[in-house]
Structures are given as structure tokens and as C-alpha cells.
């Protein structure tokens, strides 16, 4: 996936002569998708508004909407007057409540399963705590398959059909083969995740894809700002590792071989601490989850216990900070300084309009945000930090799974007639 939602809808194709049936079918598929995307990105519209937004003739829009209604992908709602004169126009809403996409995130400390309908409402959600690096590949994938199976059973009982499933994994992912090439945060190397999960799920498996967690998180974050003027965004995910999803002019930046965004391994640590990747001095040794826990608490402190839900441990750090605990406050100040340093370097290179801090930053980042913004303003070469705004994610640890579910739903927008 490269084009992410906010790009202008395609103009109506201009016919150049009698098309072959295959060409007409392709045009119809494209136009149906264009109508659905407008409704997804801009909300309920009248047929006249849809025609204006897509550039399609009004009679064509009427035919397309009727087809989408028949498929249950859109529904017609109450009429709304579009101006001071004229008849009210009946609104068309995106529907598709009988279809969903499934997003699954394998993180360092949990497996999260989320199913979203076409209107992006939750149809199922469940998270299991699991120390992924300690459990080993086989046990993790078996637990993941079990969680997916439970989701598929629940959806079947509700009469909701999954159109696809996208798995989010930290590290370097070959999306074309569904293989995790290298994920140091969880200790995986050359794991054929897609093939193994298909074996475990059997014939009931929906179409399955695998992608990097930060990239899918960026997709979810970008959808949150749809309709705004934001077209360039950097989404930094804070967990044990630090990853980034980069949106440039409304498109997900993947790089020459799909591995863009491994920002956690920039060599910024002056103390050159050992990183899980085998190198020394990586940025994530300064600002990753292990760093904040190491700085904030002794080794025998319960906040280090992987058996305790991560949100609970972060909640405890938050309570300590609110009480004014000196060690916690000092840790937050240290990480804020180092986080701002790395973000400023990235802002100089990428010039994002917005930097979104997700993952663990969502839970305790409010104590760091002011200083992070100050460091970015101080260090970015461009005036006023190049217009860059740093903000906390509203999605937190759910971003990657949500992005995976939306990625899976793309199948409907690419070919609505097959839904």
C-alpha cells in the first residue's frame, strides 16, 4: 500500500473509444472504489456532492450508488439541504457492517487482535499478554493463531465476514513474502510468519498479509487526520524498540526495498550502550521502553515485571510522576531531552508537518511533551522548526492493529464488486 487516503479522488476517466469488456469492468471497479473512498474520507454526502468530489457525471453516480446499496456497502439516510434553495439531497453513508478487516499486532509484550467494519467500527477486539521474546516463535505463532481463531468464531456468530487479515510485527519485514527478516526486539530472524500462520489457521484463514508495525501504525494515525491539511507526517512508535512510519505527500514512504523507518538504530547514544540489535549506541537505548524503565526504577521494581500488563506498569510510573517522585521525574526529563534530539534530526531530513508519538509515549508522554517540543524548536535548522508540530497519539498501543485492519479493508476499496 502506498497511497494513503487523503489524496484527491481520481478524475472521471475520459473514454477514448469503444472499450473492451475488461476495460469497462476495470473502469466500473475504479469508479465504485472512488465513491466509497469519498464516503470514507469525507463522510456522508449527497449524490450531487459525490459527483462533484469524484468528477463523475451525476447519472453515473446514481447508478454506482444503487449498486453499492444493493451490495450493502452503503446506505441512504435522511435528506439534507445543500443550499438555501432547491430540494434536499438524500445522504449516502458508508455501511458494510457485514464485512470487516482484521488487524493483528505481535508486540514485545502482547498479541492484539482487532476487527473493524467498513465504517471502521469495532466488531471484535482482544489482547493477550505475552512476553514474545521469551516465549519463542512457535509458541507465539500458536497463541496468535488461537487468538485469530477466536476472533473468526466470534465474527461468524455475528454474521460478519472478514475480507482479509494483516499482521503487524516489529522489525524488518519483507511484505512481499510475509517474512520477518529481522526483529531484534523480539529475537526473530528469517521467520516465514505468513506461511506458518496459514498452516495453523487452515482453510478458514482469510487472505493474510504481514507488514511492519510502525508503518501500519502510521496508516492508522494518518486516517485520524483525514480531511485536514496534513500530508506529511512522522509517526514514532515507542515500545522496547523505536520505529517510524513516514508519510510524505499523503503516501507511505517505504524506501527502495521496503525497509524505511528503522530510526531506532540511529547511532546517537554517547555512552554506546549495547542494543538488542547487536550494535552499540542506538537511539532506542536512550528513549525506548527499556530505557525509561531502567532510568525510572531499580531492577527489582514491579514496573519491570513482564507478567504485569504494560499499561498497568506505565500507569504506576504516571502516578509516581504525579506524586513528584524524583527518580521518575529525572528519568522522564532525560528521555525527553534525548527524544527531542532524535526527532529534530528526523525533522531536518523529512520536514514533517506533524510528528505523532505513539506506543508508551501515549501513556506518560504528557510529562515530556513540552521539553520535547522545545528541543525540536531549538535544534531544527528551519525557522519555527519547519512548521513541525509534535503531538501525542490518541490511539496508543492500538494503532498498529487498527492500521492492519484498515490495510485489510483496502481489498473492498480496490474491488467493491467482489466484496
Q: DSSP assignment of 124-160, as one string?
A: EEEEEE--HHHH-HHHHHHHHHHHHHHHHHHHHHHT-
CA distance 412 to 417: 8
CA distance 368 to 387: 20
Q: Which of 201, 211, 216 is nearest to 150 (CA)?
A: 201
The pLDDT of residue 321 is 97
> What residues contact 378, with CB distance under 8 A and at least 6 apart?
344
CA distance 132 to 112: 12
The pLDDT of residue 164 is 96
The pLDDT of residue 17 is 36
Domain 21-94 in this protein, CATH class = mainly alpha
Burial class (CB in 10 A: 0-12, 13-18, 19+), 83: exposed
Which residues, in sequence order, are bridge partners of residue 280? Answer: 274
The pLDDT of residue 88 is 65
- Residue ranges for the chain with pLDDT beneath 70: 1-22, 79-88
Tell me, yes or no, if the pTM score tops 0.75: yes
The pLDDT of residue 99 is 95
The pLDDT of residue 229 is 87
The pLDDT of residue 418 is 79
CA distance 239 to 96: 34
Q: Which of 35, 225, 201, 33 is nearest to 104 (CA)?
A: 201
> What residues contact 144, with CB distance under 8 A and at least 6 apart?
104, 106, 111, 167, 197
**Distances in whole angstroms, Cα of residue 311 to Cα of each of 106, 186, 316, 321, 326:** 16, 19, 9, 15, 21
The answer to whether 262 touches 288, Cβ cutoff 8 Å, is no
The pLDDT of residue 22 is 55
The pLDDT of residue 2 is 42
> What residues contact 169, with CB distance under 8 A and at least 6 apart?
105, 106, 180, 183, 186, 188, 193, 210, 211, 212, 213
Domain boundaries, the chain: 21-94, 99-216+400-418, 229-397
CB count in 10 Å sphere of residue 401:
31
The pLDDT of residue 86 is 54
CA distance 315 to 231: 33
328-365 pLDDT, tens digit per residue, is 999 999 999 999 999 999 999 999 999 999 999 999 99
The pLDDT of residue 316 is 97
The pLDDT of residue 19 is 41
385-409 pLDDT, tens digit per residue, is 999 999 999 999 999 999 999 999 9
What cell was used for 407? 490495510
Domain 99-216+400-418 in this protein, CATH class = alpha beta
The answer to whether 235 touches 244, Cβ cutoff 8 Å, is yes
The pLDDT of residue 10 is 32
The pLDDT of residue 286 is 97
The answer to whether 92 touches 47, Cβ cutoff 8 Å, is yes
Q: Cα 190 from chain centroid?
A: 23
The pLDDT of residue 331 is 98
The answer to whether 34 touches 79, Cβ cutoff 8 Å, is no
The pLDDT of residue 258 is 80
Out of 3.50.50.60, 3.60.15.10, 1.10.600.10, 3.30.420.40, the CATH code matching 229-397 is 3.30.420.40
The answer to whether 23 touches 52, Cβ cutoff 8 Å, is no
Return the residue matching grid coordinates 493477550. 128
SS3 262: coil
Amino acid at each position: 500500500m502506498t497511497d494513503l487516503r487523503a489524496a484527491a479522488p481520481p478524475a472521471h476517466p475520459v473514454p477514448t473509444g469503444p472499450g473492451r469488456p475488461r476495460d469497462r469492468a476495470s473502469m466500473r471497479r475504479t469508479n465504485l472504489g472512488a465513491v466509497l473512498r469519498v464516503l470514507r474520507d469525507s463522510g456522508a454526502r449527497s449524490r450531487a456532492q459525490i459527483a462533484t468530489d469524484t468528477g463523475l457525471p451525476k447519472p453515473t453516480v446514481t447508478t454506482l450508488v444503487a449498486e453499492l446499496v444493493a451490495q450493502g456497502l452503503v446506505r441512504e439516510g435522511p435528506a439534507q439541504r445543500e443550499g438555501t434553495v432547491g430540494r434536499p439531497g438524500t445522504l449516502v453513508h458508508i455501511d458494510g457492517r457485514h464485512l470487516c478487516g482484521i488487524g493483528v499486532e505481535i508486540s514485545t509484550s502482547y498479541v492484539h487482535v482487532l476487527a473493524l467494519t467498513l465504517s471502521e467500527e469495532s466488531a471484535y477486539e482482544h489482547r493477550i499478554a505475552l512476553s514474545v521474546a521469551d516465549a519463542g516463535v512457535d509458541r507465539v505463532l500458536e497463541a496468535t493463531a488461537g487468538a485469530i481463531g477466536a476472533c473468526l468464531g466470534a465474527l461468524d456468530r455475528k454474521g460478519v465476514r472478514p475480507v482479509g487479515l494483516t499482521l503487524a510485527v516489529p522489525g524488518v519485514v519483507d511484505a512481499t513474502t510475509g517474512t520477518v527478516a529481522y526483529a531484534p526486539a523480539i529475537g526473530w530472524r528469517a521467520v516465514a510468519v505468513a506461511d506458518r500462520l496459514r498452516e495453523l489457521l487452515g482453510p478458514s484463514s482469510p487472505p493474510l498479509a504481514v507488514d511492519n508495525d510502525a508503518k501500519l501504525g502510521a496508516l492508522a494515525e494518518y486516517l485520524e487526520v483525514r480531511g485536514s491539511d496534513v500530508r506529511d507526517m512522522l509517526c514514532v512508535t515507542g515500545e522496547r524498540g523505536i520505529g517510524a512510519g513516514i508519510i510524505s505527500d499523503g503516501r507511505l514512504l517505504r524506501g527502495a526495498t521496503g525497509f524505511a523507518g528503522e530510526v531506532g538504530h540511529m547511532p546517537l547514544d554517547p555512552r554506546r550502550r549495547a542494543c538488542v540489535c547487536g550494535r552499540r549506541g542506538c537511539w532506542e537505548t536512550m528513549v525506548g521502553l527499556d530505557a525509561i524503565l531502567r532510568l525510572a526504577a531499580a531492577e527489582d521494581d514491579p514496573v519491570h515485571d513482564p507478567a504485569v500488563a504494560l499499561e498497568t506498569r506505565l500507569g504506576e510510573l504516571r502516578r509516581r510522576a504525579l506524586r513528584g517522585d524524583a527518580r521518575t521525574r529525572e528519568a522522564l526529563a532525560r528521555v525527553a531531552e534525548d527524544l527531542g534530539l532524535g526527532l529534530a534530526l528526523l525533522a531536518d531530513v523529512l520536514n514533517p508537518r506533524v510528528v505523532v508519538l505513539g506506543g508508551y509515549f501515549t501513556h506518560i508522554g504528557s510529562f515530556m511533551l513540552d521539553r520535547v517540543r522545545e528541543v525540536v524548536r531549538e535544534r531544527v535548522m528551519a525557522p519555527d522548526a519547519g512548521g513541525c508540530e509534535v503531538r501525542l497519539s490518541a490511539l496508543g498501543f492500538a494503532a498498529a492493529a487498527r492500521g492492519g485492519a484498515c490495510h485489510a479493508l483496502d481489498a473492498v476499496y480496490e474491488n467493491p464488486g467482489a466484496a
